[in-house]
Structure formats: C-alpha cells, structure tokens
Structure 1
Amino acid sequence: MTSPFTELLASKIRTALEQDWQNVIAVSEFIHANVEESSKEFACSARLTTELEHHGFTVEHGVAGMDTAFRASFGSPSAASTVAFVCEYDGLPPYGQSCGHNVVAAASYGAALALRPFADDLDLRVLVIGTPAEEGVGGKYILGDAGIFDDVDFAASIYPGMDDISASRTLAAHRLTIEAFGEPAHGAAHPELGVNALDGIILGFSAMAMLRPNLPPTARIHGIIEEGGIHPQVVPDYARATVVVRAADLIELAEVRSRVTRAFEQAIEAVGARSTVTPAQRCAEAVLGIEALAGLFDNALRVVGRTPQSTDQVAGAWSTDAGALSRRVPYLQPQIKMTTRSVPPHSHAFHAASVGPDAESCISDSAIALAAMAAEYASDPMVRAEVGSQFRQATTGRP
C-alpha cells in the first residue's frame, strides 16, 4: 500500500526530473555508446562530472586514488541527512553495456538532479559517487576502504534486469585462477614424453560439472580457459583457467570453493601435471539487506506504477562489489525490470535493450523512486532511526 505522502513526493520529484530529462537520457546514451573497460572509464567519468558541475554539484575527482572515481556533493555538509546515489559506468567489451551500467548511472544521476530543488527544505545533502570497475577490481571496495562513504547515512543504486524486486538478493562470489604446469613435447613424434597441462584443465572443468547436481541450489560455478598452449604441434606445458564460485553467503562460499579447488587439483594431478590455485585477494560478499530501506523503495516504486516481487519469489544469482560496502553503510540495490526473461544480462541483446523506450522507462521510474525514498527518509526521524537500528542489528547484533 502506498501513502499519500509518498505520492506527493513522487509527483514533485517527477516534475523536477522532467526539467532535466533530456540531459539525463543524453548521459545514458553517451555511456552506452562509449564502452570503456574497468578502471579506464575516462570519457564516461568526465561526462558525468562535467554535467554534475554544470548542475551545481561540487565535484572531487580521482578520489581514493582511482583516476575515474569521483564524489559530487550538493547541499550543506552540516545537513541532518546525507544520502549517496552510486554510479557505475564501466562496460564489458566486447559485450558492450551488457549489464546496463549506463542505466545504473543515469538513474542515480537523475535522482540526484531531481532532489536538488528540495535539498534545503529537507535539510538533506545529496551525493553522487562514481564507482569504477564494478566488472573488474571492484571500485566500491577501494572507495569504502578509503572512507569515501563514511559520512553517508545510506547509499543506493539500481540494477536493470528482468524483474522489479525492491530487495534484490545477491550472491557472495570469489574468483579463482587455476594454473596447470606440464612438460612440452612434439605432439606427433613423441607425445608420450610430454605432460599435457591443457588436458588437466579440461578434465578439471568436467570434474566441476559433475559437482553441480550436488551443490546447494544457491551455488553457481562457471569459468573460462584463458590459455591452453601456443602451438598445436606442441604438447601444452602450461594452461590457465579462471573460475568464479558463487554462493548464498561466505560460509557456503568457502565450502563450494574448497570442492571446486579439489576437483581441479586432482584432475590436473591425474594427467601428471602440477597445479596452482590462486584465489583473488578479495571475495564479494552478498549485499546486506535493510528491510526499512527496501520498504521505502517498495512504496515509491508502487507509486510510479510498478508492482515489485518479493525476494521469496525470485532467487538472486548475481554478485556485486557492494557487499562489503553494505556492511559499512546501509545500502540498497534493487532490481528494476527493463527486459523480458528471454534477454539476460551479459548478452548482446541486453546491451541493445539498454537504450530505447524500455531503458528510458527504467531510468525514469528508478530515478523517481530513488529520490522519493531519500526524501521520505530525510523527512521522517522515525524512519531514520529504524534504518539505523536495523543496520546496527545486522552488522553488530545490537539494535
């Protein structure tokens, strides 16, 4: 059920957003057309910061030592509340903006612009924080460690997807680099004198596939072979794969990761090669849910005409670099429907869908709902207290 207050906020915010709507869409289309790799998003970061400065935001460039990160601020540092809308803008070449990061950035940018006229009355400071490399090293880890979010009361961004879910669940994830070391030999004259490292990696993938039916339903394991030899006439003496392990939480992740590691180690040993399995320095934690924030967004999303599903109806199977950040500051990352269920993220079709009428509807509804959520948070001391209490309970066990 929506409230008259939320409806009034959303109506005012929609009117404000309409004043800058063409600019918001132009930013989305620019990011979509300029697909830049993680940590190399120079053009997209520059476009966002230029527009934010033009609209009266004070921008800090290159924060936390990341060239393409930024923090933009509108309103008084002494305001009673500070909210941060998070932008992502890296692409996934050669698959383009196949995760819709142009939509993510435009929704956060639009929400911030729409809140500007009300910031003083709400006693609210609005931040836009540019977080590079979501598909790479994970900019939110680095910015969080550097204290960029330390003065934020809550942060939020959306993700375009196949469903409307106010409290979209995510999975913990960890990347493994698996190397096999064999011995080279002539592939025709004396293959028996070689040790085929590639065979070990291939056998490891087969062993991993055999694990899938026996894993928890929330687990996901997948990967690619990145190197499998140099010349076809030489027995490959070196092969390398990257595997991503995902699970519901860190405990389940550790169990699944251990089983995948053993599968590859034993497969590589079986062909006579040596193995090295190197976990990435950091793993992605599942985003910590704050029910009070999700409820605010759910109400706002219903006001703009959407009917969100509950998290119990849809199982999340994606991961993000926001998990650790959600343990530093209350964080919400809902999913907003942009495509049909036949158009999955990380596909060419999803890149194509990230511009056009459905993408624009996703951006508009998301921006209005994000801004209305922030306005209602700033307007109601009881809401602020409840969000803070739930966050403390989730992170420390104490309300």
Structure 2
Amino acid sequence: MSQYRPVREEVARRADALWAVACALHADPETAFAEHRAAALLTGELERAGFEVRRETAGLSTAFTARAGRGRPVVAFPLEYDALPGLGHACGHNLIAAAGLGAALVTDAVLDGCEGTVLAVGTPAEEGGGGKALEVEAGVFDDVDAALMFHPGVYDWMRAPLTAQEQYRIGFRGRAAHPTGNPTEGIDALAALIELFNVLSALGRRLPEGSHVQGIVTQGGTATNIVPEYAEGRFGLRALTTAALDDLAAQLHTCAEGVARATGTSFEVERASVRYEHFRDSEVLSERFAGHLTRAGINLTPPAAGVYLGSSDIGNVSARVPAIHPFVAIMDADGSDHTPEFAAAAASERARRVLVAVVEALACTAVDVARDAGLLARAWDRHR
C-alpha cells in the first residue's frame, strides 16, 4: 500500500545497521541487571537519532527511556536485551532489542514532526528480574497509549499465551535436638517442609488448568545427627490469570499454616520474586500487526489450544495499556527456545529476514495508531 511506502523505504535503509546491532548484542551477552554494554549501545543509537534519552529509569542501572516527537498518542516499544546465564541469547532478546530500536527510529522518521510521541523503553531482566514490572510500578507506562513488541520463537502466533507467575519462600522453624539422645525434645522443621510438599502434591491433582506449584528445598538442616531447627523451600507458582494466581498463593499459605499446626512448628511465607501478570492481548492491534506482517509472507495464527509458553513481565504492561506480543518463528516448531540451537538461530539468516519484516510491521502498526484515532479508541474500548 502506498501509504506505507515511507516505512518500507526507511526499514530498507536501516536494515544493515539494525542487523549489526542484533549481532553485536548476540556476540556480547549480558545477564539480568548487568546489561550495561547493551544499554549503552542502544541508547547511543537513539541519541544519535535525536531521541531524548533518560538513563537509570525506575532506579534500574541498565534501564532507560528514549523519547521523540510530541503530544498524544504515545506509542511505546519495549526493548529486551538480557541474556540467559550460560546460554547467551537463547531467547532471542538481541532481536527484540533490535526490532524495538528499529521500529522506534523508523516510526519517528515517518511521522516527521506530526502529532504523536515515540517512546523506546529499555527493559532489563525479563528473564526473572522483572524490569517491566518494576517500571510499571514506577509509572513509566502511565501515559502510554499502546505498547508494541514481538518475541522470536518456534511458532508464528498472533498472540502470546503467557501465564501469571511468582515465587515464594516458605520457612518452618522447630527445635533442635539429638535424634537419639533426646529425640522427644526436638521439633523437626525439615519434616514439616517435606509434609508441605506432600500436601501440595495432593492439592495439585485438583488445581484448575494452567495452575501448578513447583518447589525445591533450599535449606534442610546442617548435620544428620541434629534434628533440623530450620528448613526452607522455594516455590514457583503459575496460573492462567493473575486472579487465579492470587487464589493459588492463598492456598499455598493455607497449606503451610495447616502443616505448621500439625507439626508444632512456626512458619513464615514471603514473596521471593517480582510478580509477572498474565498477558492480555490487544486483539485490535495484534490483528493490525498480523495484517502488516503478511506482506512479508509471514502468516500469524492464533496459538494452539491448551499450549502455554511460560510467563513474561510484558503481562504487567498489558494490564495497564493495550499491548501486543506476537511470536514469530526463527526456527522450526520441533525446536525450542532456551537451548543452544535457539541461540544460534537468533543470529541466523532467517532471523535477519524476520527482524526486517517485524520492524516494518511494528512501525506500520505504530503509524496506524498515531494517525487513526478510531483504531486506538477501539483498542482502548476492548482493553477496558
């Protein structure tokens, strides 16, 4: 379509430079909250393009915002750039960062002073640290009208089936004793923790679809000839929705309380991670993005029924503003992310083709949001 020709021309002009950014990030992986070189690379690119960059967003040393344009609507592009320990960019965050960067640069160039603001948001530590969740709490997305990003994967899916998740630390405190010298004086905290695992196993058989608890023992005693005075476990909770996660967390607390009463121990429960909310897809904007991507020969479909692909802090953003998070395949469906093979795929020729196509589709969607008030109004109506 002729109205999108300026976007295609800008993307073509910048394609080599964006691929160079993706490859530079891929070759120099940095883990959660330590992405200093990645943040410097990305902010440098944005500053050279005239964006107003603010670093250490939300008090996070590797987070940033970069703003260009004026007024509403404000279209945000979240950039992820953390890598996995030992696996590098085995989740393709180098491509997410390059795509968000490219979409921000192209959108700003095409709007060229027209009403509307482009906001690139550097979001560290998606792999467990929850940079976006912390930024949401700090108000970074309060004045945003739409948040647009993609994720490389093994499927071409219009939306991301991402669940809610958080982790809890549970400790039981008993009384130390010698297991043969004075066994009746002891209160075995480890036995209480083990009993909690048994109770949770029984609970798991009647949890709703998508809800589960997975736990590990993190502290179980100091010696075999001492009744453990203290024992502690860490438990990961997932659920289809944030409300279901609240229910599951309440059940976990009830189980721990019941075990403590039964074993004569005391207990404490403490959240041990940032909460990731479930992802709420903006169908209006996802359909627009998918339509633009078909011009590159990539056809997105709804996700397969009953398949869930983990959790992400984009869920917290999607609870506040209309957001998209499609998956676009960079390797075939018999593979998986978080593997060495996926890390290699994130720097492949197929990944380059996907990057260029996604930048164009993201930028076209952003231009639509800026120029079509009706589109944005429909997105917000559905969001509410």
Write the mapping of 1:117-196 to structure 2, written as runs, cut at 5 A: 117-120=109-112, 123-184=115-176, 195-196=187-188
Q: Structure 2 residue aligned with 1:368, among 360, 366, 369?
A: 360
Query: Does the aligned pair in 1 maintain the 2:129–2:273 contact within 8 Å?
Result: no
Counterpart AA for 2:237: V
Task: Give the whole-Å Cα distance in 1 for the aligned partners of 2:314 and 2:14.
Answer: 28
Q: Does residue 28 of structure 2 align to residue 34 of structure 1?
A: yes
Counterpart AA for 2:70: P
2:67 is matched with which residue? 73
1:397 is matched with which residue? none
Residue 241 of structure 1 aligns to a residue whose secondary structure is strand
% same residue: 32
Give the TM-score, by structure 2 length. Answer: 0.86
Residue 319 of structure 1 aligns to a residue whose secondary structure is coil
Query: Does the aligned pair in 1 maintain the 2:70–2:115 contact within 8 Å?
Result: no
Counterpart AA for 1:298: A
Residue 302 of structure 1 aligns to a residue whose secondary structure is helix
* Further displaced range: 95-104 or 229-238: 229-238
Give the TM-score, by structure 1 length. Answer: 0.83
The alpha-carbon deviation at position 373 of structure 1 amounts to 0.9
2:55 is matched with which residue? 61
Unaligned stretches of 5+ residues in structure 1:
395-399
Task: Give the whole-Å Cα distance in 2 for the aligned partners of 1:81 and 1:194.
Answer: 65
The alpha-carbon deviation at position 299 of structure 1 amounts to 0.7
Residue 32 of structure 2 aligns to a residue whose secondary structure is coil
Task: Give the whole-Å Cα distance in 1 for the aligned partners of 2:37 and 2:248.
Answer: 39
Change (3 A) 1:93 1:282: closer
The alpha-carbon deviation at position 287 of structure 1 amounts to 2.4
Query: Does the aligned pair in 1 maintain the 2:168–2:273 contact within 8 Å?
Result: no
Task: Give the whole-Å Cα distance in 2 for the aligned partners of 1:238 and 1:106.
Answer: 47
Q: Structure 1 residue aligned with 2:76, among 69, 84, 91?
A: 84
The alpha-carbon deviation at position 205 of structure 1 amounts to 3.2
Task: Give the whole-Å Cα distance in 2 for the aligned partners of 1:346 and 1:191.
Answer: 47
Write the mapping of 1:170-249 to structure 2, written as runs, cut at 5 A: 170-184=162-176, 195-231=187-223, 235-249=227-241
Task: Give the whole-Å Cα distance in 2 for the aligned partners of 1:358 and 1:189.
Answer: 68
Task: Give the whole-Å Cα distance in 2 for the aligned partners of 1:353 and 1:299.
Answer: 25
Task: Give the whole-Å Cα distance in 1 for the aligned partners of 2:309 and 2:212.
Answer: 8
Query: Does the aligned pair in 1 maintain the 2:172–2:265 contact within 8 Å?
Result: yes
Query: Does the aligned pair in 2 maintain the 1:218–1:317 contact within 8 Å?
Result: no
1:46 is matched with which residue? 40
Unaligned stretches of 5+ residues in structure 2:
none
Task: Give the whole-Å Cα distance in 1 for the aligned partners of 2:85 and 2:225.
Answer: 31
Change (3 A) 1:18 1:190: farther
Task: Give the whole-Å Cα distance in 2 for the aligned partners of 1:148 and 1:319.
Answer: 21
The alpha-carbon deviation at position 270 of structure 1 amounts to 5.7
Q: Does residue 351 of structure 2 align to residue 351 of structure 1?
A: no
Task: Give the whole-Å Cα distance in 1 for the aligned partners of 2:49 and 2:104.
Answer: 10
Query: How many aligned positions are there?
Result: 384
* Further displaced range: 62-71 or 246-255: 246-255
The alpha-carbon deviation at position 332 of structure 1 amounts to 1.6
1:105 is matched with which residue? 97
Show CA shifts across 1:365-394 (max 9, x none).
322211111122223232233223333xx2
Write the mapping of 1:245-324 to structure 2, written as runs, cut at 5 A: 245-266=237-258, 273-280=265-272, 283-311=275-303, 313=305, 315-324=307-316
Counterpart AA for 1:254: D
Counterpart AA for 2:156: D
* Further displaced range: 133-142 or 172-181: 133-142
Change (3 A) 1:113 1:261: same
The alpha-carbon deviation at position 46 of structure 1 amounts to 1.2
Q: Structure 2 residue aligned with 1:325, among 298, 314, 317?
A: 317
Change (3 A) 1:239 1:159: farther
The alpha-carbon deviation at position 107 of structure 1 amounts to 1.5
Query: Does the aligned pair in 1 maintain the 2:6–2:110 contact within 8 Å?
Result: no
Counterpart AA for 2:219: E
* Further displaced range: 256-265 or 82-91: 256-265
Change (3 A) 1:120 1:313: same
1:21 is matched with which residue? 15
Task: Give the whole-Å Cα distance in 2 for the aligned partners of 1:347 and 1:190.
Answer: 51
Change (3 A) 1:67 1:363: same
The alpha-carbon deviation at position 137 of structure 1 amounts to 4.2
The alpha-carbon deviation at position 81 of structure 1 amounts to 3.2
The alpha-carbon deviation at position 38 of structure 1 amounts to 2.4
Change (3 A) 1:317 1:203: farther
Counterpart AA for 1:275: F
Counterpart AA for 2:310: W
Query: Does the aligned pair in 2 maintain the 1:13–1:368 contact within 8 Å?
Result: yes
